[in-house]
Structures are given as structure tokens and as C-alpha cells.
Structure 1
Amino acid sequence: MADEIFTSPRLAVLYDALDPDRDDLDAYLDMVGEFGARSVLDVGCGTGTLACLLADRGLEVVGVDPAGASLAVARGKPGAERVRWIHGTAESLPVLSVELAVMTANVAQVFLTDEDFVSTLRAIRRALAPHGLLVFEVRDPSRRAWLGWNREETFSSTSIDGVGDVEAWCDLLDVQGELVSFRWTHHFTGRGESATSDSTLRFRSRESVAACVGTAGFALQEVRGAPDRPGREMVFIVSAGTGRVP
């Protein structure tokens, strides 16, 4: 079940305006060229920023997401008609044979159990062409990013067309082992109203991620850093075909 920040129409329309800097997607655009992919599956595509960028480059693109409100935003973007949008999870995908699948941002960390993570990875593998690749990122748990998840360090105030001024901030709620829970608050200053969305992410170690990848039948090819966030992210490149054993 997706979080309120993605499923609520009231909050989903704020997402792009509150997070306008998507330099993190440049590395994925570069890897599409590096790997020569002509078809891409964007798992957890959200409001469709990357999917539309890829479609603008002439690629065949499928975007899947369980949050209908986020997909509604995606479908309203210029060029969205060139993307095949699917409301659902990786497990609900139709028969596909794409050359590259991606999970950007926090998507790979929303699966809180190994069973759910492996099930999703297996579903993505079924959607890949033989020797197709999956690329996804996870935050390096040793950096303890959640220490900065507080109002003082995350507060922003943004004027959004058709909405007005919105204040937003994040509060850390709980840390239990690898599970980190937090709450985003959005305050609509003109209306004097607030809406919150609670989320939990799992911060797996490199070894834990590699084990799930292997269980799902992938072969680990490489683990890179994220160029725009050096030392903070691990970018996994895994193959549906044969390759180096993790």
C-alpha cells in the first residue's frame, strides 16, 4: 500500500513543486545510453518525471505505480501519451520484454520484508528480456540519513500555482533496526490546514541487498555510487542473465 503522500490527490499534486531538483535522474538517463537500452520499465514511477524524459528521447517506456493519484499527475504531463502507464505493482505487470528496468529514489526501500522485496525483484525479472538489466538505488545505512529528518533541516515554504503557499517538513518518528519511520507534514498556509503522511523505509546493507538479488535469480554486475550524492547511495546494476556471482 502506497503512502498518503502518493495516494492522496491533494498531496500528489504538490510532489513535483516541492522537489523540483531531479538531478538524481541524470545518472539513469546516462545509463540508458551506456547500456544501449531501447525499452525501459520504470517501477514506482510516481508522477512520471523520468518516464516522460525517457519517452522524449524516443524510447519505449512503461511506468507502473500503485498510487493512482501520482499516476493522474503523470498522465497530465506534456508527452505523457508516449508512455504506457499501468496502475499496480510489479507483480501485476502484463507480459513484457524490456531491456532495462529501473527503481529510482526510495522505491527499492519501501519493501520492508525480504519476502516482499524478492517477490518484486522476481516480477521485474519476468518483465525483462533475456540478459536485460535492472538498476536501482538504496541509501547507504552507514550514513544514517535519518538524523537530518527534522523540521529544522527539512523545512521549506513554496508558492504553488493553483494551491497557494505550502510549508513542508519531515519529522523522524522511530528507528527499529533497519526500519526507519518518518512523517511529512504539509501546511496550507492560506487555508490554515495541514495534512500528514507517514512512511517507513528499510535501510538494508549491501550484503543484504545482494542476497535478495541472488535469491530473485539476478546476477550482480556492479555497485556504483550516485554521482550527485557521492558516498550516500549504492546503485545496484543486476542482470537477468548470467554474470558475476555477488
Structure 2
Amino acid sequence: MFTDADAAALYDLLNPWDPVRYPSSAFYDEFVMAADAVLDVGCGTGSMLHQARALGHRGRLVGLDPDLAALERARRRTDIEWVAGVAADAAWDREFDLAIMASNAFQCFVTDEELSESLAAIRRALRDGGRFVFETRNPRARGWEEWNPSNAIDVVDGEGRRLRVSHHVESVVDDVVTFTETTGDQEGAVLRVDRASLRFLDVPELGTFLSEAGFEIEAQYGGWHREPVTDAGRSIVTIARRA
């Protein structure tokens, strides 16, 4: 009723990569355009790397993601390397100046083992002094409390369907939030339900995992204008270097 390809197209509609409208896009674009070789971990539909090529990036761009439907959409550009897989299984060795995880993809590393193995693989992929730039949601802001049907989003997709996307939190166990995303029509018929878990790490825990993996934190911000991290801020934006 609502395929993986439909979901990938809807994601792009709801989350456009636009450095003019969204400071987050502009923030990442600055780093990408300054690096010769870039690895986008959790690249999804590839919007960030598409934008880099459109802006004239001439170096190596590689997108990694386990979602085959998203990668199929990403492959609309053939001048970028697209790789199906997860970070923990990556085998690159000192090939990139920059690794990025945008759109809170970092929070998909739920277990300690998955997080440690993924960080180790990302570090191996970076050259000495290479940067790893990513964002996570600040757990102190408790953003998941807004993930409920009363905050549903109405949208018309590329096929002309009038859709409603809503969220429901199933559980909050320690720092892991499990929730469902329901896509339906605006009359209430359910077309698709996706379930996911995300880990919300605070600054000290992030620092511990990064240090154990061989990274040094260069900077951390509470937003896209490089403001400090605060309890009320929604984001923790981290710039780390391979030590």
C-alpha cells in the first residue's frame, strides 16, 4: 500500500536539504565543501552529497546506508559512490578527510557494542587528523515527549496523495526511546507503520564513547549557529578528530 520507495520519496519531501532555509544544511555543507574526500554515514537518499556535487565539489564523495530503497533514490546521481551497509562493517582504511552523520543518524546506534564498533570503523576510515561531524538530540530537552498523534504532519506527496504522518512513543528505557511512525491518509486509513529505537546520549556519555574509540572532541555546540550546549537546547552538534 505504501512501499519502501514511497517512504524514501516522502522522507525527501518532509526533510529537504536546503542551506538557505535550514541552518543545519548550511553547517554541514561548509565542512563537506572544504574536504577532499567525504564519507556520509547513514546517507539515506543522498541529499547532502547531491548538494555537494551541485555546488561544485570535485573530490571523492561516498554515501553509506543499509536502506536499499533510500540508496536507489540516491543513485539518481552516478558521480557519487553509493554503498549498501552499516558503519560497523565498513572496511575503509584512512581514505577520508571527513565523515559525517547528519539528521540524527548517530542515534540509530542503540547498543554499546554497535556504537563502539561503528565508531571504530569510522575512525579507521579517516586519515590522521580527519574530522567526524555529527548531531544528536539533547536528552535533557526530552524531545520525544512531542512525538504523539496530536503533532501529526499533513502532506501531499509526489503522487498527489493526501497523507498524515504521526508518531507514538512505545517506551523509554534508560536512554533508549522506542516509537512507531504511522503513515496514513487524512481520513484515518493506515498505509504503513514503521518501528524504530533511538539512543539519547548526553555530553559526558558521548565524550566517553568517542575517547574510547580514539577521537578527540574539537568542539560541541547546542545549535547550528555554534551556540553553547544548554539544558533547553534541542541539539548536541559534535566535531571530533581522529586522535
**TM-score, structure 1 as length reference:** 0.86
From the superposition, tell whether residues 229 and 151 of structure 1 become closer, same or farther in structure 2 (CA, over 3 Å). Answer: farther
Which residue of 136, 141, 144 corresponds with 1:143? 141
The question of whether the paired residues in 2 share the 8 Å contact of 1:181 and 1:200 is answered with yes
After superposition, the C-alpha distances for 1:46-100 in whole angstroms (9 at most, x for unaligned) are 0111111122232421000011011011112xxx112100011123334351100
| Aligned AA (1:52) | H
Quote how far apart the aligned CAs of 1:227 are: 1.8
The question of whether the paired residues in 2 share the 8 Å contact of 1:27 and 1:226 is answered with no
| Structure 2 gap segments, 5+ residues each | 228-232
Which residue of 2, 9, 19 corresponds with 2:5? 9
The question of whether the paired residues in 1 share the 8 Å contact of 2:38 and 2:61 is answered with yes
Distance 1:93 1:203 in 2: 24
Which residue of 107, 122, 125 corresponds with 1:124? 122
Distance 1:38 1:21 in 2: 21
The question of whether the paired residues in 2 share the 8 Å contact of 1:62 and 1:83 is answered with yes
Distance 1:171 1:190 in 2: 18
The question of whether the paired residues in 2 share the 8 Å contact of 1:165 and 1:190 is answered with no
The question of whether the paired residues in 1 share the 8 Å contact of 2:154 and 2:186 is answered with no
Quote how far apart the aligned CAs of 1:191 are: 11
Structure 1 stretches of at least 4 aligned residues deviating more than 6 Å after TM superposition: none
After superposition, the C-alpha distances for 1:177-228 in whole angstroms (9 at most, x for unaligned) are 1111111110145994421111111111111111000111111211122227
Moved more, 112-121 or 42-51: 112-121
From the superposition, tell whether residues 103 and 171 of structure 1 become closer, same or farther in structure 2 (CA, over 3 Å). Answer: same
Alignment of structure 1 residues 202-241 onto 2, 5 Å: 202-227=199-224, 231-241=233-243
| Structure 1 gap segments, 5+ residues each | 242-246
The question of whether the paired residues in 2 share the 8 Å contact of 1:49 and 1:74 is answered with yes
- Which residue number in structure 1 is paired with residue 73 of structure 2? 73
For 1:14, what is the secondary structure of its paired residue?
A: helix
Distance 1:123 1:163 in 2: 42
The question of whether the paired residues in 2 share the 8 Å contact of 1:164 and 1:190 is answered with no
Q: CA RMSD in A?
A: 2.2
For 1:161, what is the secondary structure of its paired residue?
A: coil
